[in-house]
Amino acid sequence: MKSKKLSETIIKTFKRNGFVLSEPDVLLDSEYIIERSGEKFRSSILSFEREDGKSMCLRPDLTVASCLSFLQKKTSSKIYYSGQAYRRSSNKGSDFINNQLGIEILGSKNQIQDDFKVISTILSSAKKIKSKKIQIKVGDISLFKSLINALDMPERWKLRLIRHFWRPSYFKELLKRLEKNTDIDAVTFDTDKKRFNEMKNLDQEKVVAGRSISEILTRFDKKIRDPRSFSDGKKIVKIIKSFLKINCKLSELDEKLLVFAKKNNLKKNIFRDFKSILNLKKLNQEVIFIANFGRDIEYYTGIVFEVFSGNKEIARGGRYDDLLKSLGAKKNIPAVGAAINLKNI
C-alpha cells in the first residue's frame, strides 16, 4: 500500500510537468535488440523461443522499450512510464525484476531546457517521497569527447577511447597501452585491412551491432590511414587522468575547467558545450560534478546524473542522442530521460 501511494505521488508530479503515459511492450524481438544495440544485452536478457521459432525477450530496459514504441507507434514525445524491466545480473542476490517509474523526452528540441526539465521533475518527485537529504551527482560524457577530440593523437586512439569510455576496466587497459604506445600487431592490422575490403562489397545500409556498414567502413578507413608511430602517449594519458579526477561543486566547475585547460595548453573554449550542466545552478540544490561519472551505460552521450537520498541511489538518467538511430531511426533523434528505482524508496 505504501509503495502504491508513493507511485501515485510520483505520477502526479510527472503529469503536472506535462508528461503523458506511455506503456511500452513487455515482449521484444531479442535478435533485433542485440543486432541494433550490440552484445551488451545478450548475457542479461531473459529470452525464449515462440512456437514459430522467433526469439523473444522480456524488455531488459524501459528506456530502450520506450524508444522502440516511439519509433513504431509514434507516441507522444514527452512520456512517462510505470512498469518492470527484466534483466539478469552478475551480482549475487540481485533481483532480475526492477520496478521503475520514468520519464523521457524523445525528439528533444532544446537540449538545455529539456535536460533541466527531466532533472528538475525527478528532483521534485524525490523531495516529495524522501525525508532524508537529497543529493545530486552529475557528469557529462560530451565533455570527455570534447577533450579527446582536442588532443593531438592518432584518430584510431580517439575512436577507441570514446567508444570504450563506458567500460572502465577496459578503458584503463587502453590507457596503459596508449601510455606505452602498444598498438595492434601487424597481423591484426592486415586482418582489419582484409575485412575492410570485403565489407566494401556489402549492403552499405545494413546494420551490424547498431552501426551501418557505411559507418563501420568510415571508422576502418580512419584507422587504416592513421600513422602507426606515436610518441606522446604518456603525456596524453596524464592529461586524460587529470581530467577524470575533477570532482567539485557545480559552483566551482567553471574555474576548474579553465585552470585545467590553461595548465594543459588547451583552448579556453574546449568545453564550450557544457551549458546544460551550468544551467543546473537554477535547481536551488547543491550539485556535485564528477568527470569520471555515469560511464556504465553505453548509450549515454551527454549529461548523466544520479539522485541520492542518504546513501541510496533513488534515480538516474541522462541524455542519449544516438540510441534511437541505433534502434532503427533514419537519423539521430535527440533524447533525454530518467527513471526512479522503486526498490530504493
Domain end residue (candidates: 219, 244, 269): 244
Clarify whether residues 31 and 95 are in a common domain: yes
Residue with cell 542518504: 310
126 and 1 within one domain:
yes
- With vertex at residue 140, the alpha carbon angle to CA 15 and CA 95, rounded to the nearest 5 degrees, is 60
Residues 75 and 19 in one domain: yes
Q: Name the 3-class secondary structure at 293.
A: coil
Q: According to the model, what pLDDT value does residue 198 have?
A: 73
Residue 60 has pLDDT above 90, yes or no: no
Domain membership flag for residue 270: no
For 129-151, what is each residue's pLDDT tens digit?
A: 876 788 999 999 999 999 999 99
**Which residue is associated with the grid cell 568545453?**
271
Q: pTM for the complete prediction?
A: 0.81
Residue 139 lies in a domain: no
Regarding whether 189 and 220 lie in a shared domain, the answer is yes
Residues 53, 113: contact at Cβ < 8 Å? no
Residue 144 lies in a domain: no
Last-in-domain residue among 185, 215, 244 = 244
In degrees, rounded to 5, the angle at the alpha carbon of residue 176 between the alpha carbons of residues 150 and 229 is: 65
pLDDT of 243 over the 60 cut: yes
**Sheet containing 55-58, strands listed edge to edge, beginning at the edge strand earlier in sequence:** 27-29, 55-58, 47-49
Residue 308 lies in a domain: no
CATH number at residue 37: 3.30.930.10
Residues 122 and 219 in one domain: no
Cα(47)–Cα(28) distance, integer angstroms? 9
The reply to whether 175 and 220 lie within a common domain is yes
Q: Which domain holds residue 191?
A: 154-244
The CA-based diameter of the chain, rounded to the nearest angstrom, is 64
Instruction: Answer yes or no: do 8 and 120 share one domain.
Output: yes
Residue 100 to residue 66: CA distance in whole angstroms: 13
At 275-314, the pLDDT tens digits run 889 899 999 888 999 999 877 778 899 999 999 888 888 8
Residues 6+ apart with CB under 8 A from 323: 63, 64, 67, 299, 335
pLDDT at 149: 92
Q: Is residue 259 part of a domain?
A: no
What is the CA 98 to chain-centroid distance, rounded? 19
Identify whether 297 is part of a domain.
no
Given 244, 271, 303, the domain boundary residue is 244
305 domain-assigned: no
Quote the distance between the C-alpha of residue 332 and its chain's center: 14
Q: Which pLDDT score, from 0 to 100, does residue 143 have?
A: 92
Query: pLDDT tens digit string along 176-220?
Result: 989 887 665 444 555 566 676 777 777 777 776 556 777 777 766
Residue 339: which H helix or E strand, with range? strand 335-341
Closest CA to 137 of 322, 333, 301, 312: 312
Indicate whether 99 pLDDT > 50.
yes
The tally of domains found in the chain comes to 2
Q: Are residues 127 and 160 in the same domain?
A: no
Domain match, 116 and 240 both? no
pLDDT at site 185: 46
Strands 55-58, 78-86: pairing is: unpaired
pLDDT of residue 236: 94
CA angle 250, 251, 253 (to 5 degrees): 60
Instruction: In whole angstroms, give the CA distance from residue 202 to residue 200.
Output: 6
Is the domain of 81 the same as that of 174? no
Residues 127 and 1 in one domain: yes
For residue 164, give the C-alpha cell.
570504450
DSSP letter, residue 89: -
- Lowest mean pLDDT: which of 166-175, 181-190, 301-310, 321-330? 181-190
pLDDT at 297: 78
Same domain, 117 and 74: yes
**Residue 234 belongs to some domain of the structure:** yes
How far apart CA 140 and CA 303 sit, in angstroms, is: 4
